Amino acid sequence: MSPEKTRAKHSAEKPTKKQGSFEIALPIRLGIAAVLVIISALLKMPVLVRTVLLALAVVAAGYDIFLASVDDIAAKKYFSTSIVILFAAVLGFVIGYAMEAAVMVILYQLSGILIEYTRTRAIRSAKNLISVQDEDIKSRMEEIASAKDAGETDLQFSLEKSAAFVLRFVAVLALLYALLMPFLTGISFRVSFHRALMILLVSSPMAVGVSFPVVGISGLFYCAKNGILFNSARTMEQATELNVAIFDKAGVFSEEVPHVIGIQSDVLDKKTFLNFLAHAVYYSDQPFAKAISDYYNQEYKLELINNFEEIPGSGVMLEIGHAPVILATKSYFESHDMSIPDRNSSDGIPYYMTIAGRYVGRVVISSEINQEAESLVDEMNRAGITRNILLTEDGNEQSQAAADSLHFTEVVGECDIDKKLRLISDINQAGKIKSVFIYANGIEGHSAADLDMRVSRKGKYADALVIPESYLNIPTGIQICRRMLELLRENAIFAIAVKAILIFLSFIGYSTLWFIVFIDTAAALATLLNAIRVTTPSLLGRNKEDED
C-alpha cells in the first residue's frame, strides 16, 4: 500500500467525535459527578453505598465515553482513547480503586473542555493574523483551513502510527507486569494490576497530540499573512527540505508580458513597418512577439507568411511575400557576421529587422527588472536554499545581464515552456535535490519540481500561491515552514518525555489514574500554547542567525 493510501486509511480510522468535544449538558453532568464524588469522600457510609455513588458519578460524567467505545469496537479500533479510559475505569472499580477511577473520568472530560477551548482560541488567533488582508486571501485561507487534513503533517502521521504500535506492545507488557510482579517482588495482585493499568493509560495517545494540527494551521495562516498561501501544512513540511530554487524570470522579476517602448524605421513609414513586425511574429510564442501583437490592431494577411522559424531567445526568421525577413537581437546578427546600425537602447531590448538582407528598422521592447529583487537570492541562501537558478526566454546576453543584476550565479536563456520543464526535470533527477519551481504563468499542471510556487492570486495546480506584491517574502515563508517543523518536533519530544516520566512513576507506584490524566492535560495545554510560537517573528530571525 502506498504512503498516501496508508495515510488516507489512517485518517479515515479516526473517531468522528473528537475527544473533548463540547456539549451544553457536559458541565452540568460534571458538576453532578463532582458532587457525588465529594459526598462519597466526606461522609461515612458503607463501602457498597460509596461504590454505587462513585459508579453513578462515572455514569453521569462519562456515559458518552461508553457510547464512543461501542462505536470504536464496532469499527475495530480496540486501542482508542475512549476504550482505554473505559477499561481503566471499569478495572479500577473491580480492583478497589473506585475513587481514583471516578476522579479520572471527571478529569478526562474536564480536560476535553479545557483543551477544546484552548485549541479553538489558538486557531482563532492564527486566523486573526490575516484580519487586515483582502477578502480574496481570507476566503481562500478559510477554504484551505476547512479541509479535514489541512493542519496534518507526515511527522504527525508517523508519530500516530508509532504510538498505535507502542500501545499494543505496552498492553502486552502491562499484562505481563500485572501477572508476574506479585511472584517476583511480593506485591499484591491488586497493586500490580493498578500499576499495569496506569502504564496502559499513560501509553494511550489521549490529548498530547492535539497540538500538532494547531501548529500546522498556525503556520499556514502566518505564511498567508506574509503573502504565501500553502495548500496544506504537509506542503509546508515539504518546503523545509528544499535546497534548490528554480525561478522563471517572466512575471516574477519582470513583466509577464513586456510592451513596446518604441518603433523606428528610416526606410519604411511607421504603419508599413509595424505591418511587417506584426506579421513576422504572428506564429511566435516568445514574450517580445506577444508585446508586438498587443501593439498591433490591424488585420493579418496570413497567406503572406511562409517558412516561419523561431530563433529561441533571439528572434524569428521567415518569408513575407517571398522576401526573407529576420527580426532579431543585435547579438544574433553579429554572430552571423551581419552588420546593423549601432543603436543600442538603455530603456529596453532592441530587435532589429532586415528584409532581403537590408536593415529597415528596429522595435524596442521593455525589459525592466524589479530592482527591489536584488536581495532575494541572498535571502534565499540564508533560508537554506543553496542553489538558485534563473530561467529566461531572452537571449543569452540579456539573460546573463538579468542574472548579474539579480545576483544569480546560474542562468539558462532562450527557454520556451517545454525547455523549462525539461530543465526542471533534469535538475530534479540529480541526487539529494529538493527543488521548488517559482513561476507566474505558462504551465497548467505540475512541473517535475518537488514544489510549485505560482506568483499569482490564482493557480489550480500550484502547491502554494505567492501574492504578486509579496514575492520577496518567499524566503520568510520557507523560514516559517522550518519553524513550524521545529515546533512539531519540540512538542513531540516534550510529549514523549512526559509519558516516559509517567511510565517510570507508574512502575514504581508513585502515580494514580487521575494524576496521569491531569498531567496529560497539562502537557496538552502546554503544547497548544507552544504552537502559537510559530508566529513569533523573533524566532524566525534567530533561525536565520543559526543557519548563518
Give residue 78's pLDDT.
85
Asked if residue 11 is part of any domain, the answer here is yes
Asked if residue 127 is part of any domain, the answer here is yes
Phi, psi of 175 (to 5 degrees): -65, -45
Whether residue 169 is found in the same domain as residue 306: no
Asked if residue 230 is part of any domain, the answer here is no
Q: How far apart, in whole angstroms, are the C-alpha atoms of residue 343 and residue 354?
A: 15
Give residue 276's pLDDT.
95
Whether residue 378 is found in the same domain as residue 320: no
- At residue 257, does pLDDT exceed 80? no
More confident residue, 460 or 114: 114
Whether residue 360 is found in the same domain as residue 386: no
Give residue 22's pLDDT.
47
The answer to whether the beta carbons of residues 466 and 438 sit under 8 Å apart is yes
Tracing cell 486573526 back to the chain, one arrives at 128
- At residue 24, does pLDDT exceed 50? yes
- At residue 60, does pLDDT exceed 70? yes
At 59, the pLDDT band (50, 70, 90 cuts) reads very high
- At residue 547, does pLDDT exceed 80? no
Give per-residue pLDDT as tens, 147-189: 888 999 999 888 888 888 888 888 898 999 999 999 998 899 9
Percent of the chain having pLDDT more than 90?
Answer: 58
Tell me what the mean pLDDT of segment 271-299 comes to: 91
At 344, the pLDDT band (50, 70, 90 cuts) reads low
Whether residue 37 is found in the same domain as residue 168: yes
- At residue 3, does pLDDT exceed 80? no
Closest CA to 177 of 167, 191, 159, 163: 191
Give per-residue pLDDT as tens, 356-375: 999 999 999 887 777 778 88
Tell me what the mean pLDDT of segment 57-75 comes to: 93
Whether residue 70 is found in the same domain as residue 216: yes
The strand ranges marked E within 150-252 are: 228-230, 244-248
For residue 20, the 8-state DSSP code is T
Give residue 430's pLDDT.
81
Give per-residue pLDDT as tens, 265-276: 989 999 999 999
Q: How far apart, in whole angstroms, are the C-alpha atoms of residue 110 and residue 521?
A: 9
Asked if residue 479 is part of any domain, the answer here is no
Asked if residue 460 is part of any domain, the answer here is no
Give residue 18's pLDDT.
41
279-313 burial code (b ≥16 CB/10 A, e <16): bbbbebebbbbbbbbeebeeeeeeebbeebebbeb
Give residue 541's pLDDT.
55
Cα distances from 443 to residues 140, 196, 447, in angstroms, run 21, 59, 8
Q: How many structural domains are present in the chain?
A: 3
The answer to whether the beta carbons of residues 303 and 325 sit under 8 Å apart is no
Give residue 131's pLDDT.
81
| Strands lying side by side in the sheet with 260-264 | 260-264, 358-366, 348-355, 323-328, 315-320, 305-311
Residue 304 sits in a domain of what CATH number? Answer: 3.40.1110.10
Give per-residue pLDDT as tens, 294-327: 999 899 999 999 999 998 778 899 999 989 999 9
Residue 426 sits in a domain of what CATH number? Answer: 3.40.50.1000
More confident residue, 30 or 346: 30
Q: Pick from 306, 333, 366: which residue ends a domain?
A: 366
- At residue 534, does pLDDT exceed 70? yes
Q: How far apart, in whole angstroms, are the C-alpha atoms of residue 5 and residue 157?
A: 12
Residue 55's Cβ-count burial label (10 Å; 0-12, 13-18, 19+) is middle
At 32, the pLDDT band (50, 70, 90 cuts) reads very high
Give residue 213's pLDDT.
93
Q: How far apart, in whole angstroms, are the C-alpha atoms of residue 513 and residue 433?
A: 49
Closest CA to 206 of 115, 288, 74: 115
Q: How far apart, in whole angstroms, are the C-alpha atoms of residue 190 and residue 46?
A: 21
Asked if residue 475 is part of any domain, the answer here is no
Q: Pick from 312, 347, 366: which residue ends a domain?
A: 366
Q: 453: which residues sit within 8 A by CB, 6+ positions away?
A: 228, 436, 437, 438, 439, 462, 463, 464, 465, 466, 474
Whether residue 78 is found in the same domain as residue 153: yes
Dihedral in degrees, nearest 10, Cα atoms 405, 406, 408, 409: 20
Mean per-residue pLDDT over the chain, rounded: 87
Tell me what the mean pLDDT of segment 30-42 comes to: 95
Give per-residue pLDDT as tens, 463-494: 999 998 899 999 999 999 999 999 999 999 99
Q: Please tell me the total number of residues recorded for the chain in this structure.
A: 548
Whether residue 398 is found in the same domain as residue 524: no
- At residue 4, does pLDDT exceed 70? no
Whether residue 388 is found in the same domain as residue 405: yes
Whether residue 205 is found in the same domain as residue 272: no
Cell numbers given for 383: 533560508
Q: How far apart, in whole angstroms, are the C-alpha atoms of residue 43 and residue 225?
A: 58
Whether residue 356 is found in the same domain as residue 275: yes
Q: Pick from 392, 425, 449: which residue ends a domain?
A: 449
Look at residue 267 and give its three-state secondary structure. coil
Full domain range(s) for residue 276: 260-366
At 418, the pLDDT band (50, 70, 90 cuts) reads confident
Whether residue 117 is found in the same domain as residue 250: no
Q: How far apart, in whole angstroms, are the C-alpha atoms of residue 61 and residue 35?
A: 11
At 381, the pLDDT band (50, 70, 90 cuts) reads very high
- At residue 13, does pLDDT exceed 60? no
Asked if residue 461 is part of any domain, the answer here is no
Cα distances from 376 to residues 288, 301, 441, 508, in angstroms, run 26, 45, 20, 57
Q: How far apart, in whole angstroms, are the C-alpha atoms of residue 175 and residue 172?
A: 5
Asked if residue 236 is part of any domain, the answer here is no
Q: How far apart, in whole angstroms, are the C-alpha atoms of residue 548 and residue 533?
A: 22
Whether residue 173 is found in the same domain as residue 38: yes
